[in-house]
């Protein structure tokens, strides 16, 4: 059955289906099968197809077919006018259910056009080969979005008192306490955030102190030298059990530079820097890492096909190696996050996935769940490319995390 959701907030359960508006979990039919976009209260429905995932997360206005453009533009004008009215009245749509604010007649008209766009997409665009993975990631990120961050408003006010006019601190004063990720925001699959999201990916470490757990503490897990270890992994090399940049310093550069210098040299080479210094260090790195083997296997001279079957089109030689490794690292992090998220949900744990920051996974942790930590560590370190060394930190806020003690 074709249908549309009326709001994406977990507490605002409402659908348009069979030409009617339906509200509440108890009233949801069992034969739901096609809609535009996923929302969290649909998690238990395994057979629904989401058109938004068929078009790589594009906004609906980007994919409306020509035959429906007039109808879409007409309903969009009405919606825009209504949203302008809400703005003038200073109504917070995050704190209200959309269907409680919008006239039923307009809501039905909007959903009916969405139904027709959804049907067109699902009938004319092939199902993505990695659809199940895309949906699993979408579900996990939507759960994160629905859990508000615990922001220390006193700390925010104290920072604002001393911050210059253009300081990033000023964004915290108006930021919504919700992280809204965009899983399709980059070619490589690295997460970005949507407009209006809390700026978790760009927030400086010292400002992360305003983020505190709802439970007892934050537990953060991240890979030690993720990109370098992925490079080793795709080449079938054994993973060292020591810090990867110290390994480079000793084994590649023969201790002729410091750890920070070895780290900088690796990333400059991976990202394709053309400086003379990078070219000099790059010769040593390429004696250890045979990048031609990686390129021959995953790049056809134009398109990349990653180890996770992601296709990145129209990539030149300068970016090919970087995109292969960056994309594989990003999706490996998402895979590990999915495994950890599943464990926490299956265990009926009070702990939950709070956020993902690049290749770090942050759990809002309850002390009573500490028996799960060995399993969580194992899920994080066990990868398709061997056993990765991981870093584990904990703390009472996200800006002051310390190495966790075993």
324, 348, 366: which is the final residue of a domain?
324
pLDDT recorded at residue 200: 96
pLDDT recorded at residue 246: 96
**290, 237 in Cβ contact below 8 A?**
no
pLDDT above 80 for 307: yes
Nearest CA to 171 out of 134, 192, 196 is that of: 196
Any long-range contacts for 196-200 (C-beta under 8 Å, 24+ apart)?
A: 198/149, 199/168, 199/171, 199/175, 200/355, 200/357
pLDDT above 90 for 97: no
Going by pLDDT thresholds of 50, 70 and 90, the confidence category of residue 208 is very high
pLDDT tens track for 44-57: 888 999 999 999 99
Look at residue 138 and tell me if it is in a domain.
no
CATH code assigned at 374: 3.30.70.370
Going by pLDDT thresholds of 50, 70 and 90, the confidence category of residue 406 is low
Look at residue 133 and tell me if it is in a domain.
no
pLDDT tens track for 242-281: 999 999 999 999 999 999 999 999 999 998 888 888 888 9
**16, 6 in Cβ contact below 8 A?**
yes
One domain for residues 14 and 117: yes
Look at residue 72 and tell me if it is in a domain.
yes
pLDDT above 70 for 27: no
One domain for residues 219 and 239: no
Look at residue 396 and tell me if it is in a domain.
yes
One domain for residues 198 and 237: no
Q: Which domain holds residue 74?
A: 3-128
Residues in the chain: 406
Look at residue 134 and tell me if it is in a domain.
no
324, 359, 380: which is the final residue of a domain?
324
Spatial separation of the C-alpha atoms in residues 89 and 111, rounded to whole Å: 24
One domain for residues 275 and 373: no
One domain for residues 122 and 41: yes
**295, 234 in Cβ contact below 8 A?**
no
Neighbours of 5 (CB within 10 A): 25
Going by pLDDT thresholds of 50, 70 and 90, the confidence category of residue 96 is confident
Spatial separation of the C-alpha atoms in residues 111 and 258, rounded to whole Å: 60
Mean predicted confidence (pLDDT) in 20-45: 87
pLDDT recorded at residue 238: 95
One domain for residues 236 and 218: no
128, 153, 178: which is the final residue of a domain?
128
pLDDT recorded at residue 404: 87
**13, 24 in Cβ contact below 8 A?**
yes
One domain for residues 78 and 206: no
Q: Which helix (DSSP H) or strand (DSSP E) does residue 71 occupy?
A: helix 69-88
Mean predicted confidence (pLDDT) in 281-300: 95
Look at residue 137 and tell me if it is in a domain.
no
Going by pLDDT thresholds of 50, 70 and 90, the confidence category of residue 191 is very high
Look at residue 218 and tell me if it is in a domain.
yes
One domain for residues 99 and 155: no
Look at residue 346 and tell me if it is in a domain.
yes
pLDDT tens track for 111-121: 999 999 999 99
Kindly give, in sequence order, each residue whose CB lies less than 8 Å from that of residue 275, ignoring residues fewer than 6 positions away. 268
One domain for residues 23 and 90: yes
What's the total number of domains in the chain? 3
- What tokens appear for 313 in the block? 């089109």
One domain for residues 111 and 148: no
Share of the chain above pLDDT 90, in %: 75
pLDDT above 80 for 26: no
pLDDT above 90 for 176: no
One domain for residues 173 and 238: no
pLDDT above 90 for 35: yes
Mean of pLDDT over the chain: 93
One domain for residues 347 and 216: yes
Mean predicted confidence (pLDDT) in 350-369: 97
């Amino acid at each position: 059955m074709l249908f549309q959701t009326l709001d994406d907030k977990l507490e605002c359960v409402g659908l348009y289906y069979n030409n009617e508006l339906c509200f509440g979990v108890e009233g949801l039919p069992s034969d739901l099968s096609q809609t535009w976009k996923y929302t969290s209260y649909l998690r238990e429905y395994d057979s629904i197809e989401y058109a938004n995932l068929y078009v790589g997360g594009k906004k609906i206005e980007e994919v409306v077919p020509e035959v429906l453009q007039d109808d879409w533009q007409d309903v969009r004008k009405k919606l825009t006018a209504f949203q302008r009215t809400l703005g003038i009245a200073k109504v917070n749509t995050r704190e209200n259910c959309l269907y409680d604010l919008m006239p039923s007649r307009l809501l039905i008209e909007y959903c009916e056009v969405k139904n027709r766009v959804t049907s067109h997409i699902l009938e004319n665009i092939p199902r993505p080969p990695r659809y199940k993975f895309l949906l699993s990631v979408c579900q996990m990120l939507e759960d994160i979005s629905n859990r508000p961050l615990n922001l220390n408003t006193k700390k925010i006010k104290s920072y604002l008192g001393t911050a210059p006019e253009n300081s990033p601190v000023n964004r915290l004063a108006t930021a919504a306490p919700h992280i809204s990720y965009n899983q399709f925001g980059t070619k490589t699959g690295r997460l970005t955030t949507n407009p209006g999201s809390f700026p978790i990916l760009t927030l400086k470490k010292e400002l992360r102190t305003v983020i505190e757990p709802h439970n007892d503490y934050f537990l953060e897990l991240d890979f030690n030298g993720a990109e370098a270890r992925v490079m080793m992994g795709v080449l079938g090399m054994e993973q060292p059990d020591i810090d990867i940049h110290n390994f480079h310093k000793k084994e590649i550069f023969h201790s002729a530079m410091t750890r920070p210098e070895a780290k900088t040299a690796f990333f400059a080479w991976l990202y394709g820097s053309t400086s003379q210094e990078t070219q000099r260090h790059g010769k040593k790195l390429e004696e250890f890492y045979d990048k031609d083997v990686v390129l021959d296997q995953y790049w056809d001279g134009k398109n990349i096909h990653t180890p996770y079957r992601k296709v990145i089109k129209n990539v030149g030689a300068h970016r090919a190696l970087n995109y292969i490794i960056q994309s594989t690292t990003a999706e490996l992090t998402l895979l590990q996050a999915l495994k950890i998220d599943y464990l926490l949900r299956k265990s009926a744990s009070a702990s939950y996935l709070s956020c993902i920051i690049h290749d770090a996974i942050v759990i809002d942790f309850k002390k009573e769940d500490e028996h799960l930590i060995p399993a969580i560590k194992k899920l994080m370190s066990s990868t398709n490319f061997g056993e990765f060394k991981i870093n584990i930190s904990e703390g009472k806020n996200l800006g002051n995390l310390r190495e966790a003690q075993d």
